[in-house]
Amino acid sequence: MNILSKITGSHSKEDEDFLFAMKKILGFKPRNIDLYKKAFTHSSLKKTHSKNGFPLNFERLEFLGDSILGAVISNYLFKKIPKGDEGYLTQMRSKIVSRKHLNELGKDFGLIKFVKSTISIQNFGDNIHGNLFEALIGAIHLDKGYIYTERFLYKNVIEPYVDIERLEGKITSYKSVLIEWCQKNKNKIKYNIYEDTGNDPLKHFSVKLSINDELISKGRATSKKKAEEIASKRAYYKFQQQINS
């Protein structure tokens, strides 16, 4: 924002449209539009601050937003579940702030349409949605403070999505469940990972999951971790009855 805009409060048509969209999402009018514009600036643009030359993208805001989100959720769980011990509260928090859930929130808000990048939207992985949501939280915190951020998260995350009873039965890592079950029953589990890009523009990995040297399931994704989780989920449902017995 230039000096004249700061004095007169005027904005470009693009900024006015952006402000209107942010107000609709946030439920309040942002004070510092630059913070929110930064929350959607991807590192591929290689933008830097004019004064100090530091990188200007959403990554630092994403870091801050992740921390603030964790603090708000921790505070909520601490008050909501007075009998919960540290391990239980940590597990519940990880379910609420899981990468999958954050990606879903970012998609629900349609944040991807605001991102400024040299990379085509189609070439972003799912995690961009959660990253933008965390960056937005960081921007809210710097713009309006902790109380406003907490209110936003209660209204848009905790009240509509957090159901303690449902979350207790939610699996956040099928791989962990499967490994634990195999160890308990002295079964040998192995993940065979290899690159499987094919004709895709992005690098892909495939996984073959074997138990006791028998091929059980396969998974394919843009990261090794995702491919392992896909294969683990498929294996889990094959052995669900034995695992839960």
Rounded to whole angstroms, what are the CA distances from 80 to 83, 87, 89, 154, 157? 9, 15, 10, 13, 15
Same domain, 48 and 79: yes
pLDDT at 2 over 50: no
Same domain, 135 and 216: no
Domain boundary at 106, 138, 168, which? Answer: 168
Same domain, 87 and 182: no
Same domain, 45 and 140: yes
Write out the DSSP string of 88-129. Answer: HHHHHHHHHT-HHHHHHHHHHHTGGGG-B-SS-GGGS-THHH
pLDDT at 10 over 60: no
- pLDDT tens-digit readout, 149-158: 999 999 999 9
- pLDDT tens-digit readout, 175-234: 988 998 999 999 999 999 988 866 667 788 999 999 999 999 999 988 899 999 899 999
CATH number at residue 144: 1.10.1520.10
Q: Which two tokens stand for residue 67?
A: 């921390």
Domain boundary at 113, 140, 168, which? Answer: 168
195 or 64, which is more confident: 64
Contact 27, 149 (CB under 8 A): no
Same domain, 154 and 178: no
Same domain, 83 and 155: yes
Told to judge if 17 belongs to the known catalytic residues of this protein, a careful annotator would answer no
Q: Which of 14, 86, 104, 134 is catalytic?
A: 134
Assign 11 a pLDDT band (cuts: 50, 70, 90): low
Same domain, 23 and 125: yes
Q: How many CA atoms lie within 13 A of 18 on its CB side?
A: 21
CATH number at residue 193: 3.30.160.20
- pLDDT tens-digit readout, 70-120: 999 999 999 999 988 888 898 889 888 988 889 999 999 999 999 999 988
- The torsion defined by the Cα of 147, 151, 157 and 159, in degrees rounded to 10, comes to 130
> What's the structural domain count of the chain?
2
Between CA 110 and CA 64 the distance in angstroms is 21
Q: Which of 66, 143, 228, 229 is catalytic?
A: 66
Could you give the percent of the chain with pLDDT greater than 90?
57
Same domain, 154 and 35: yes
Average of per-residue pLDDT values in the chain: 88
SS3 233: helix
Q: Which domain holds residue 180?
A: 174-244
- pLDDT tens-digit readout, 75-89: 999 999 998 888 889
- The count of other CB atoms within 10 Å of the CB of residue 68 is 20
Contact 223, 202 (CB under 8 A): no
If you search the block for the tokens 């937003």, which residue do you land on? 65
Same domain, 71 and 148: yes
Told to judge if 200 belongs to the known catalytic residues of this protein, a careful annotator would answer no
Between CA 128 and CA 58 the distance in angstroms is 11
